[in-house]
Structure 1
Amino acid sequence: MGEMRLGFGEKISRRDLLKLGVTGAAAAAIAAGGRKPWFLSEDRSSVASVRKDPSQIMQGFGASGAWWPNDLVHFDPGVQRRVGELLFDREKGIGLSVYRYNIGGGGVGVRIPEHAPQTFLVRPGVYDWSRDPGGRLFLELAAGHGVPIIVGFANSAPAIWITNHLNTGGYLIRGAEPHYARYLADVAEHFRSEGITLSYISPMNEPDYVWGGGVQEGMAVPIIQRAILVEHLGRELARRAPHSRVVADESSQVGSQFIPEVPAWMNVPAAAEQVAALAHHTYDYPDDATLRRARRLVGEFFDRPLWMTEISCWDSRTKTYGRQYDPTMTNALWMAGAIHQDLTQANDAAWHWWVALSSALGCDPMKDPSCPYRMNYLGYDKGLIYYDPDYRENGNQQLYLTKRYWVMGNFSRFVRPGYLRHDVLGAPAGLKVLAFSGGGGWQIVATNDSRSPRTLRLRLPEPHLHPTAAYETSESRNLEPVAPPSVHRDLLVAALSPRSVTTLLLQRRRRA
């Protein structure tokens, strides 16, 4: 085979052209010289590839409705509806596919009012379903927008079943498990009668910690007691609310709690058979090796989906939990990296941020209008959206959107429950690439951590895909349309802006 010389001095063999699908007139045009085609624009060693066989069935991206509804219930109805659109609408917002509704314990002993959600329980078997107006409002908005997965989670059982008779600092009373399980099943059954399905119930959020001091609701559940609670809850739901399944145990840390503790209660067969998904938080900000240990534990021994159901408050100075408010791309890129790490290393099927909204700005937006948009070390990176903590006094009901909010949308709006995640091999340093298939096409989410523009070259597992759109979040864009990638046969090429997260959408071509 001879060689053809490109117009700018580079050579390519006819065999290489054939491998690229370049024949006939196109090959002649290259031979005649002229601009190098885009699909030969870089060293082919930088081409990443997507595996054809999937690694995971996705079960959603979401955030929780803990606490902030107790404030937002006092806001103007127009603002409330706008929050619903921002969180749950796929056209006007980021289309979260999971909403975590906080089933309150009553807030007894909690000294921060908005952290004290009401309980429906008046006494065992007697309920006041008019309670928790804020929580119910946003639960109804989530259901009204068609959020496909709603999880009911509890930080504490009602105080009657806690050792210190408070919703903070105590333990679930031994022997109270069947009573508490019936209460949770009653809640699921009630909302079903109202047209709202709680697809999952999580009975013990962070059971490894009592949350003493009254900062928030919390209860500890000793390891073996978790098996008893899960068994009772699973049986109650199966009998009266079969549309709801159990997710557990939402340990706060992967390495020191989830990995050593889950086997102790999941090895109880009567409990294990009731568990639809195993869930962990990542407040130890684990490394890859720790996440892979969790993946092996769940995949090899328990054969359940693994979920990451809570994370926030990462301090860029200490690389751990801390006080910092950062609405910029710096924290948003960290979040995108955490999603990539949890999905690829732990094989998490779901990924949930902590609270959707927060008032922990750490600054006064009425005195300094620029403060919600820049970093400070007085607030906390808890929310996707923020509001003024002094709204009662100053009447400020403005919503402040972070770059985290928009980056979450790069995932939640486009990667829906039931879509498949495929491993990406050979991504260049500085690029994190996730690939999903579903909805008649593919969704590629690419993160460029560097301060320079980059080009993604990605070999797709099927040819003839049609690029339809691309959406970028960066320093200058908020989930905004940009030029879609180019695709030649099975090779995708996309330009990525500095410090950006970009979602690339491709559809299968319809065959005549």
Structure 2
Amino acid sequence: MLKPVMILSTAAALVTAALLPLTGSTPAAASTGTAQITGAAQTIAGFGASGAWWVNDLAHFGTTAQKQAADLLFTSSGIQLSQYRYNIGGGGTGVSVAARAPQTFLNADGSYDWTRDPGGRAFLGYAAADGVPDLIGFVNSAPASMTSNGQSCGGSLGTGQESAYGSYLATVAAHFAAQGTAFDEISPMNEPDNSFSSCGQEGMTVAPAARAGVINAVGSALASAGLSTKVIADESSQTTQLLSEAPTWLADATAPGHVSAIAHHTYDFPSGSQLEQVGALGATNGKPVWATEICCQVSGGGYGQQYDPTITGALTLVNSLYNDLAYGNDSAFQWWTALSSELGCDPTASGSCATSVNSHGWNDGLIYYDPNYATDGNQTLYPTKRFYALGQYSKFVRPGAVRYAVAGSLSGVQTLAFRQNNAWTIVAANTNTSSTSLALNAGSGTLTPTASYRTSATESLAPVSAPNVSGSTLTATLPAQSVTTYVLSSAGQPGSTAPTGQTLTGVGSGRCLDVPGSKTANGTQLDLWTCNGGSNQAFTLTASGTITVYGGGSAKCLDGYQGGTAAGTVVDIYTCNGGANQRWVVHPDGTVTNAASGLCLDATGQGTANGTLIEEWTCNGGTNQRWTLA
């Protein structure tokens, strides 16, 4: 994890890395000015944060303060996180920062001392008691006896230690399962690309070629212990590393069978097309992708030192969350750490410390506490706007909800739509500095607002007025720099009132997606052609994610030819059959990816002329891969 201790080695590169602009990428605008919910995308696993490090401090807090922190994180009186990451400590041997040296349960003689890590165990217990659906155990370093240098940092997992490491993690998992706090997943190598040689925290490297062995050892040991716990991997620091390194272990004969999700961090602050490539990695390997760590952005930019508890700082989290879900099709979003002491100021000396921006602290936590608690006795908790902004998603979008793609949001409005229990949850972030209108067609019969909440400069998960509703369309005004959640029941199923017969126009060419010669034969490859209003240019984006042409009994589906997943796969029309190669996801910048391959709908060779053929190609952000829907 790229945390404050890593500045000297990584910050210079990361500070220059840019987030996608908070105003959003160019949207696939609808001609009516009304955004449209299109096809089903990913199923949501949850929203969470980690319990690393701060639990060592909160072990010394009173029960009342501990319970307040747990309530804020895990219950409906707070933000009701649906995922919690418990740090399985490696003992902190060699770690220079005491608070970042978690205890290990493993004794030198091979026995276990389950009384260790009192803070970590306490908050894992709170999470389980409060009904957090998904508990994850993650490891920064194996116990020192299993590392190459006999320390909890600066080395790698020792040669030949895979089996012992697997047995160790299975023993830990079995113990907690017996206590009623079973892990749903274990991540055995958090950021295995980094040894954290500065030793400000735990860390160990695992070479890409060795990762399959670790996954197999841990997965097999968990299964042998009779546990249902699965592995998530490999939690690379950057998406570029994941894309280049994860295929090595994904190609192993058995490792993918132990893995329930491909996990990644986003400390390269990836573009939309890079995130779409992460989604493609998941699609071609039949695994959901999870964004399992991010933090520490300077407001509106890349990685750096800053403490910003305001709505401006909150929108950096929102921007990451939106990009991960809307471009990468991530099923989970996990902020780095739930609590932090990195205020950068003394809250007992300054009444504005916890609410003002400074350049000395870090944007690594959702909630903060006094770093001098041990001497001044201050156990006050200080929630940030970042905390409340995450709650706009975590409280209302629960595991099992299905995200539906949204096309046509206005610039600066980041709209996510989720469907669960015959209701829509719409979360709209207005990143603009002025109020902006939201108009959204849900395409599912009459809507009835049931709950509306907002976080802004002046509101914190506050109830607000319901949106205006006419049939299946809602309209509202979003205040500047705000995040608003609308929950609406629906009288119809998705797609029951969706627009039909729309054109998909290439941004680079200005020409329409077209079935040449109005042919109807299966296997006819699509092309670009001057827009002419013909039925062969009229497409319907269905709720299932298919894109159909001709309608009625003659309808044909947009199809990745013969289920191909390689770049260059022909895009044709074919009898609709429910295959993943006939499902498509529309992204906010107008790119359209195939559910089977994760590749983009592409005008071949960046062509713009009539007759340019259409294929699937690696997403790259080109205008030949962006489409407007009208």
* Contact kept in structure 2, 1:197 and 1:243, CA below 8 Å: no
Distance 1:357 1:416, change over 3 A: same
- 1:353 is paired with a residue whose SS is strand
- 2:61 is paired with a residue whose SS is coil
Identity of aligned residues (%): 47
Q: CA RMSD in A?
A: 1.4
The reply on whether 1:378 has 2:360 as its aligned counterpart is yes
**Aligned-residue offset at 1:243:** 2.0
User: How far apart in 2 are the matches of 1:104 and 1:465?
Assistant: 48
Structure 1 unaligned residues grouped into runs of 5+: 1-42
The reply on whether 1:448 has 2:434 as its aligned counterpart is no
Q: Which runs of 4+ in 1 moved over 4 A?
A: none
User: How far apart in 2 are the matches of 1:143 and 1:488?
Assistant: 42
1:132 corresponds, among 110, 117, 123, to 117
Give the aligned partner of residue 477 of structure 1: 459
User: How far apart in 2 are the matches of 1:450 and 1:173?
Assistant: 50
User: How far apart in 2 are the matches of 1:494 and 1:504?
Assistant: 10
The reply on whether 1:304 has 2:287 as its aligned counterpart is yes
The reply on whether 1:147 has 2:132 as its aligned counterpart is yes
Q: How does 1:97-116 map to 2 (within 5 A)?
A: 97-116=82-101
* Contact kept in structure 2, 1:258 and 1:280, CA below 8 Å: yes
**Aligned-residue offset at 1:271:** 1.1
Amino acid at match of 2:288: P
Amino acid at match of 2:420: G
User: How far apart in 2 are the matches of 1:235 and 1:251?
Assistant: 22
2:415 corresponds, among 422, 433, 437, to 433
* Contact kept in structure 2, 1:168 and 1:212, CA below 8 Å: yes
Amino acid at match of 2:330: D
- 1:198 is paired with a residue whose SS is coil
User: How far apart in 2 are the matches of 1:474 and 1:334?
Assistant: 13
Give the aligned partner of residue 281 of structure 1: 265
Q: TM-score, normalised by structure 1?
A: 0.89
User: How far apart in 1 are the matches of 2:145 and 2:476?
Assistant: 58
Q: How does 1:301-450 map to 2 (within 5 A)?
A: 302-316=285-299, 319-450=301-432
Give the aligned partner of residue 471 of structure 2: 489
**Aligned-residue offset at 1:123:** 3.8
- 1:201 is paired with a residue whose SS is strand
User: How far apart in 2 are the matches of 1:464 and 1:445?
Assistant: 19
User: How far apart in 1 are the matches of 2:198 and 2:359?
Assistant: 23
The reply on whether 1:69 has 2:60 as its aligned counterpart is no
Amino acid at match of 2:249: W
* Contact kept in structure 1, 2:266 and 2:294, CA below 8 Å: yes
Give the aligned partner of residue 618 of structure 2: none
User: How far apart in 2 are the matches of 1:416 and 1:240?
Assistant: 30
Give the aligned partner of residue 254 of structure 2: 270
* Contact kept in structure 1, 2:433 and 2:480, CA below 8 Å: yes
**Aligned-residue offset at 1:331:** 1.3
**Aligned-residue offset at 1:484:** 1.1
* Contact kept in structure 2, 1:188 and 1:241, CA below 8 Å: no
Give the aligned partner of residue 279 of structure 2: 295
Give the aligned partner of residue 46 of structure 2: 60
* Contact kept in structure 2, 1:174 and 1:225, CA below 8 Å: no
- 2:409 is paired with a residue whose SS is coil
Amino acid at match of 1:334: T
1:121 corresponds, among 89, 98, 106, to 106
1:230 corresponds, among 215, 225, 238, to 215
Q: TM-score, normalised by structure 2?
A: 0.72
**Aligned-residue offset at 1:366:** 1.3
* Contact kept in structure 1, 2:299 and 2:308, CA below 8 Å: no
**How many positions carry a matched residue from both structures?**
464
The reply on whether 1:48 has 2:35 as its aligned counterpart is yes
User: How far apart in 1 are the matches of 2:253 and 2:395?
Assistant: 38
User: How far apart in 2 are the matches of 1:269 and 1:124?
Assistant: 35
User: How far apart in 2 are the matches of 1:440 and 1:124?
Assistant: 56
User: How far apart in 1 are the matches of 2:487 and 2:31?
Assistant: 23
- 1:126 is paired with a residue whose SS is coil
2:230 corresponds, among 245, 254, 259, to 245
**Aligned-residue offset at 1:355:** 0.4
User: How far apart in 1 are the matches of 2:289 and 2:55?
Assistant: 28
Amino acid at match of 2:138: F
**Aligned-residue offset at 1:451:** 2.0
CA-to-aligned-CA distance 1:343-398 (integer Å, 9 cap, x gap): 11111000000000000011111111101111111011000000010111111111
Amino acid at match of 2:291: M
Structure 2 unaligned residues grouped into runs of 5+: 1-29, 494-630
Identify, as 1 or 2, the structure richer in helix: 1
Give the aligned partner of residue 210 of structure 1: 195
Give the aligned partner of residue 94 of structure 1: 79
